[in-house]
Amino acid sequence: MTTIIEEPERTRPPTRVRAAAQSTRRRAGILILLLLLPGLALYALFVIAPLAQATFFSFFNWNGLGDLGDPIGFANYERAWRDPMFHQALTNNVAVIGVSLAVQLPLALGLATLLTGRFRGRGLFRVLFFVPYIMAEVVTGVLWKIILAPEGLVNEVLRSVGLDSLAQPWLGNTTTVMPALLLVVTWKFYGFYTILFLAALQNVPRELVEAARIDGASRWQVFWNVTLPQIGPTVRISVFLAIIGSLQLFDLVWVMTQGGPAGASATMVTYMIRAGIQSYQFGYASAVAVSVALISFVIAILYQRIVLARDNATYEKGA
């Protein structure tokens, strides 16, 4: 005869306890929603609504005044993607991305590594390196426009050391304008990434570094095999910010060159302003704006799925 052992009543969660737990979760969900509502409302008002409106306008040949007229379908998008000037602007954005990843971020990481050491004046150097980033981009653009002018500081220094042949209008030459802008972009933003890397480096467990040194690892081996993996999430986020920021670059370029000369320094956003809004072609400008948003969105999604997936999984598991 089989004996059925019934689970003691006291081991079963009482109905009242389950109801209380559900009520607590429900209240927590409502609280989270209430806290998110202001941010969601602002996001919908200043991001979703303008993007939806720009998408609607992009299907019309509209000058920004009067009626929209008849829809023209994807003609504005076809015009943008067939325009060599738009291709040049996209190429310039890619060049900014390349310099940001190959020069700006390694420079910031190297400086952050140096600033983690103990030496006199360390705090002053941290402030000095961060100063370019906290300057307004308009101020930075005007400052460097004066420095790189035909009679500016750079040319005066070249002339003073007998290199008159190298003096030139750096921002007025189609060959030199992009290298000059890339220099300014690097100078402007490397301090931001230096601070990010510095914060990450200070959170690397000292015992891991000391254990690696005890095992005979060199400084480079410690950095490559211990430090860099520990700050990996910060590096990946910095790469993401650098890419998206490079695609949206506008202020510095507009103040310094407005995309000239002959479109040699144009970015996608300055192209939108010059080819669209300044010419009262708001439908075409809307198509360019939507194209920039789509490019940024696709890159962000791919980066999130491919590169940041492991970091997100680790965070969710820890939470």
Q: At 60, phi and psi to the nearest 5?
A: -130, 150
First to last CA, the chain: 49
Spans of the chain below 70 pLDDT: 1-14, 310-319
What tokens were used for 175? 């060959």
Q: What is the pLDDT of residue 198?
A: 92
CATH architecture entry for 75-318 = Orthogonal Bundle (1.10)
DSSP β-bridge partners for residue 285? none
Long-range contacts (CB closer than 8 Å, 24 or more residues apart) made by 131-138: 131/191, 132/187, 132/188, 132/189, 132/190, 132/191, 133/188, 133/189, 133/190, 133/191, 133/192, 133/195, 134/191, 135/188, 137/188, 137/251, 137/252, 137/255, 138/251, 138/255
What 3 state SS string does the chain have?
CCCCCCCCHHHCCCHHHHHHHHHHHHHHHHHHHHHHHHHHHHHHHHHHHHHHHHHHHCCECCCCCCCCCCECCCHHHHHHHHCHHHHHHHHHHHHHHHHHHHHHHHHHHHHHHHHCCCCCCHHHHHHHHHHHHHCCHHHHHHHHHHHCCCCCHHHHHHHHCCCHHHCCCCCCCCCCHHHHHHHHHHHHHHHHHHHHHHHHHCCCCHHHHHHHHHCCCCHHHHHHHHHHHHCHHHHHHHHHHHHHHHHCCCHHHHHHCCCCCCCCCCCHHHHHHHHHHCCCCHHHHHHHHHHHHHHHHHHHHHHHHHCCHHHHHHHHHHC
Best CA proximity match to 253, nearest among 163, 191, 200, 182: 182
CA distance 36 to 40: 6
- What pLDDT does 23 receive? 79
Note the pTM of the prediction, 2 decimals.
Answer: 0.84
- Going from the C-alpha of 37 to that of each of 24, 27, 28, 84, 188, the distances in angstroms are 20, 15, 14, 43, 35
Residue 14: the pLDDT is: 66
Give tens-digit pLDDT for 237-250.
999 999 999 998 99
Report the 10 Å Cβ neighbour count for 79: 16
The confidence score (pLDDT) of residue 314 equals 59
What pLDDT is recorded for position 13?
A: 55
Token pair in block for residue 148: 């790189």
